[in-house]
Amino acid sequence: MTMTLRSHEAAMTSRPVQRVLTFYDRLGLLPFDLLQLMSRFSLAVIFWRSGQTKIASWPLTLQLFASEYRVPVLPPEVAATLAASVELTTPVLLVFGVLTRFATLPMIGMALTIQLFVYPENWPDHLTWMTFLLLLLSRGPGRLSIDHLVRRHLQKM
């Protein structure tokens, strides 16, 4: 009788544990390609909006680069032009998944520059950007990208 009671108690306590483990296993079925796509789009929106803000009022942008941002080494005009160029080209590449790993490099450079020299107190935002950027740099854009289609085509040659 004690054996039956113990096995019944074990079954009762293992059911919730088993349900949790099953739930965790099912979460693992989320396609990684979807996470890569979401990372690409998230970063694209952040950088695109920033670029749009820069070109919306170029005189104000130049003033900010001269007085507030003060990126070392580069003159404000050059830094502003480079920043706007990166912010308006790399998001397009990310959205379509074209040259994705290459596109992350100037974005990583920008994120590091902003973190180190402009707004070090905003490290949580920059850490988030870097996490997504390093994911895309190391794992690529995923199967939902033009890069993937080009790679498949090149492998058939």
Q: Render pLDDT for 86-112 as a digit per residue (tens, 0 to 9).
A: 999 999 999 999 999 999 999 999 999
Q: Supply the pTM of this predicted model.
A: 0.84
- Measured CA to CA in angstroms, residue 67 lies from 51, 62, 82, 113, 120 at distances of 19, 9, 17, 16, 16
pLDDT tier at 151 (50, 70, 90 boundaries)?
A: very high
- 25-84 confidence digits (pLDDT tens): 888 888 999 999 999 999 999 999 999 999 999 999 999 999 999 898 999 999 999 999
Q: Which residue has the tokens 């994705």?
A: 100
Determine contact, residues 110/69, Cβ cutoff 8 Å. no
Residue 13: is its pLDDT beyond 70?
no
Residue 41 token pair: 């789009």
For residues 39 and 13, what is the distance between their CA atoms, to the nearest angstrom? Answer: 39
For residues 21 and 132, what is the distance between their CA atoms, to the nearest angstrom? Answer: 27
